[in-house]
């Protein structure tokens, strides 16, 4: 029997419709066994941050003369081995000072000396010899600082000791007037001032190397505790 072309086409269309209809989804099959462990990757490169630092050092001072209201000091030696040409060219140099700040104790209602650390410069206080109370006027300041100019094996430190005091008028400090305190009268000389400050301050030099000459350090370099923790500095 001969089948017509129309019949063949009708059968093809019917079979196509029959097989194109989707049935309901079947259940997921069981989970297969775990595959073999992959090959370990290669070790990454170490980061490029690097820090070198000195111990806490005590400056050795020489006289830079007596001024009207301060006595000036310079560091005796400006040599510093950490300040290599590479440190100057590729790193950043920080100088930290450690000494006592003057803090008012609300409970005791008097001033006391508390150790603090500061960057580049510091206001360090000490008890004036012979004073028996702990009022603001019983302490005097010493301000050491690192010169802005540094060089290869060169670090200059300077400082000055205050000699003046401000009178209190009607319970208010008059900063527009001052007197030279009797303990710091003219002509005391270097030996006197050196004895006052020779052991009350220490400094530390920290050199940070790294990408873009260490300027992208991920830590606040003005916060010594943060620097100490991040770079694992040893006291």
Is residue 76's pLDDT more than 60?
yes
Element housing 226 (H / E): helix 224-231
State the pLDDT at residue 19: 46
pLDDT digits (tens, 9 = 90+) for 9-63: 454 445 554 444 455 665 666 665 665 665 654 554 444 468 999 999 999 999 9
Buried (b) or exposed (e) across 137-163, using 16+ Cβ within 10 A?
Answer: bbbbbbbbbbeeebeeeebbbbbbbbb
The rounded Cα 90 to chain-centroid distance in angstroms is 18
State the pLDDT at residue 42: 55
Listed by start position, the domains of the chain span: 50-231
- As given in the structure block, the two tokens for residue 46 are 């170490």
Higher pLDDT, 205 or 17: 205
Instruction: For residues 147 and 73, give the distance between their C-alpha atoms in angstroms, rounded to a whole number.
Output: 13
Buried (b) or exposed (e) across 187-205, using 16+ Cβ within 10 A?
Answer: eeeeeebbebbeebbbbbb
pLDDT digits (tens, 9 = 90+) for 110-163: 999 999 999 999 999 999 999 999 998 899 999 999 987 899 999 999 999 999
State the pLDDT at residue 144: 97
Is residue 101's pLDDT more than 60?
yes
Band the pLDDT of 91: cuts 50, 70, 90. Answer: very high
Band the pLDDT of 210: cuts 50, 70, 90. Answer: confident
Q: Is residue 101 within 8 Å of residue 113, measured between CB atoms?
A: yes
Q: Tally the residues of the chain.
A: 235
Neighbours of 227 (CB within 10 A): 22
Is residue 3's pLDDT more than 60?
no
The rounded Cα 8 to chain-centroid distance in angstroms is 88
State the pLDDT at residue 219: 85
Tell me whether strands 172-173 and 168-169 are parallel, antiparallel or unpaired: antiparallel
Instruction: For residues 133 and 127, give the distance between their C-alpha atoms in angstroms, rounded to a whole number.
Output: 10
State the pLDDT at residue 17: 45
Beta bridge partner(s), residue 168: 173
State the pLDDT at residue 211: 52
Edge-to-edge, what's the strand order for the sheet holding 201-209? 50-53, 201-209, 91-105, 110-119
pTM passes above 0.85: no
State the pLDDT at residue 212: 43
Q: Is residue 62 within 8 Å of residue 198, measured between CB atoms?
A: no
State the pLDDT at residue 7: 54
State the pLDDT at residue 24: 63
Is residue 102's pLDDT more than 80?
yes
Q: Is residue 178 within 8 Å of residue 99, measured between CB atoms?
A: no
């Amino acid at each position: 029997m001969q089948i017509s072309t129309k019949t063949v086409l009708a059968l093809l269309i019917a079979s196509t419709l029959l097989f194109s209809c989707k049935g309901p989804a079947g259940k997921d099959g069981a989970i297969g066994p775990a595959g073999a462990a992959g090959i370990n990757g290669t070790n990454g490169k170490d980061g490029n941050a690097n820090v070198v630092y000195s111990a806490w050092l005590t400056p050795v001072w020489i006289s830079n003369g007596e001024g009207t209201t301060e006595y000036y000091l310079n560091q005796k030696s400006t040599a510093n081995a950490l300040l290599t040409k590479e440190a100057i060219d590729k790193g950043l140099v920080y100088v930290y000072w450690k000494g006592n700040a003057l803090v008012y104790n609300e409970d005791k209602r008097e001033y006391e000396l508390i150790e603090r650390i500061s960057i580049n410069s510091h206001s360090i206080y000490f008890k004036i010899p012979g004073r028996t109370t702990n009022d603001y006027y019983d302490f005097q300041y010493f301000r050491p600082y690192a010169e802005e100019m540094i060089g290869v094996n060169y670090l200059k430190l300077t400082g000055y000791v205050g000699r003046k005091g401000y009178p209190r008028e009607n319970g208010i400090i008059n900063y527009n007037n001052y007197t030279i305190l009797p303990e710091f009268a003219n002509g005391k000389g270097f030996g006197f001032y050196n004895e006052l400050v020779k052991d009350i301050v220490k400094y530390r030099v920290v050199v940070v190397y790294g990408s873009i000459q260490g300027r992208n350090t991920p830590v606040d370099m003005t916060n010594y505790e943060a620097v100490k923790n991040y770079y694992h500095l040893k006291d």
